[in-house]
Amino acid sequence: MSKVGIMSMQRIANYGSFLQAYALKQLIEGLGHKVEFVDYHIGAPVIKDNADNGNKYARKIEKGLEMFRYKAPLSHKLTFIQYKQSFGKKYMPLLGVTNEMNYTPELDCLVIGSDEVFNCIQKNSNVGYSPELFGKDNRAKKLITYAASFGNTTIEKLDTHRKKDEVGELLSKFNALSARDMNTGKIIESLTGRTPVYHLDPVLTYDYMKCCDQIPDINPTEKYLILYAYSGRISEKEADWIAAYAKKKKLKVYANGGIQKCADRFIDCSPFEALAYFKNAEEVITDTFHGSIFSVITHRRFTTLVRNSVGNSYGNEEKLTDLLERLQLTDRMTVGITNVEKINSKAVDYGAVDSVLRQHREYAEKYLRDNIE
């Protein structure tokens, strides 16, 4: 039995970060290893323009005030703030994560990933630029990644912000490199001359619906669609369209993950309950990577709204296109909200999708087995 550490986004308060961390832990423990999460020191954001406040208490106040600027029912806003504030205390213990930080433990193997652990050129002060996420100063006998992602960071941004040489030097020290998406793979190849292997997000490679006994049964009293998007990302025009569409379909709108103007309910629940709500939804509208994944593993009809990035603004087109191409589901993507009705009217061939997932799960297990031991 090896002592294995996972360095990921395990302390970030959202369902995707939690469920991918939990999934990777389950996959590695399933191979017979002892697993613990490893923390990194948060660095200053590389992008200074409009960067988040570095003081975590001031940032919490700013985020709370920001909630009140969004158009959504007041009760949803108050519930959302409470949900965010209590997330760590409620759910981090389920990962084995405590308030005590776990920096640089002695390990047989350190696995960095999954999630956007390499997304270092950004203004998010929750992460900032931390060389430890690239393996610096670790005390592990072996160092590998699993489905790591650079997110919106590109080779050009690394060069512009003078991080390319340091990141390349750190990446060259890994024993094995696994990327989640093509952008990440290209950066790794450019900086190290090595071709990484590609793996799906752990939420897909761990069979949640078959193996996880934490997902409860829920008994909805009404039919609903899930709107899974971060607060502030659904435009007023999109929200109005969704409200009219749901009314036409005689569905309630359940917001999950963020507050929305058009929502009848904001669902404050555990990460495992979130999957239960997806499982019982009539359909899903999302503009997130993990919202798309939750739809897939629960076999829902869904539409993924793609956001284009401009400059340093948020964009998800690359990672969503990459994900849905691998799952042969690019027909579920759109940039226009009015296409949702047509897309969600079509059933998904989940027999074909599950066949793809079985292959990826075998591939992931072999990689972890071969490179941890």
Per-residue pLDDT, averaged over 121-148, amounts to 94
59-63, 91-95, 199-203, range with the lowest pLDDT: 59-63
| pLDDT confidence bin for 70, thresholds 50/70/90 | confident
* Cα 302 to chain centroid, rounded: 17
Q: What ranges do the domains of the chain cover?
A: 3-50+94-207+358-372, 56-87, 212-353
**What is the pLDDT at residue 60?**
62
- Which is nearest to 254 in space by CA: 223, 230, 233, 275? 223
Q: At what angle do helices 56-67 and 74-91 cross, to 10 degrees?
A: 150
DSSP string for residues in 287-353: -SHHHHHHHHHTT--EEEE-----TTS---HHHHHHHHHHTT-GGGEES-GGGHHHHHTSPP-HHHH
CA distance 226 to 253: 6
3.30.870.10, 3.40.50.2000, 3.40.50.12500, 3.40.50.80: which CATH number matches 212-353?
Answer: 3.40.50.2000
Instruction: Judge whether 72 and 260 are in contact, CB under 8 Å.
Output: yes
Overall pTM > 0.85: yes
User: 212-353: same fold as 3-50+94-207+358-372?
Assistant: yes
Map residue 42 onto helix, strand or coil: coil
CA distance 306 to 314: 11
Res. 355 pLDDT band, cuts 50 70 90: very high
Per-residue pLDDT at 314 exceeds 70: no
Query: Helix 15-29 crosses helix 350-372 at what angle (to 10 degrees)?
Result: 60
Q: What mean pLDDT, rounded, does the chain reach?
A: 94
Q: How many helices (H) and strands (E) does the chain have?
A: 14, 12
Identify the band that residue 52 occupies on the pLDDT scale cut at 50, 70 and 90.
Answer: low
Q: Return the pLDDT at 66.
A: 72
Among 216, 219, 291, CA closest to 255: 291
Q: In the Cβ-directed half-sphere of 56, how many Cα atoms lie within 13 Å? A: 7
More confident residue, 179 or 311: 179
Mean pLDDT calculated for residue range 203-213: 98
Torsion of CA 91, 260, 274, 306, to 10 degrees: -110
Mean pLDDT on 206-220: 97
Domain 3-50+94-207+358-372 is in which class? alpha beta
pLDDT tens across 253-294, in order?
999 999 999 999 999 999 999 999 999 999 999 999 999 999
Q: List b or e across 277-292, with b for residues whose CB sees 16 or more CB atoms inside 10 angstroms.
A: bbbbbbbbbbbbbbbb
Q: What is the mean pLDDT of residues 177-200?
A: 97
Q: Phi and psi for 299 in degrees, rounded to 5?
A: 60, 45
- Of the listed ranges 31-35, 45-49, 63-67, the least confidently predicted one is 63-67
Q: Which pLDDT score, from 0 to 100, does residue 311 have?
A: 54
Element (H, E) at 285: strand 283-286
Q: Pairing state of beta strands 252-256 and 139-145?
A: unpaired
Q: What pLDDT, on a 0 to 100 scale, did the predictor assign at position 140? A: 98
Helix, strand or coil, per DSSP, at residue 189: helix
Q: How confident is the model at residue 64 (pLDDT cuts 50, 70, 90)?
A: low
Band of pLDDT at residue 58, cut at 50, 70 and 90:
low
pLDDT tens readout for residues 142-151: 999 999 999 9
Mean pLDDT is lowest, of 126-135, 199-208, 241-250, 361-370, for 126-135
How far apart CA 324 and CA 302 sit, in angstroms, is: 12
Whether 63 shows a pLDDT value over 70: the answer reads no
> Nearest-5° angle of CA 268, CA 227, CA 328?
125
Q: Between residues 310 and 160, which one has the greater pLDDT?
A: 160
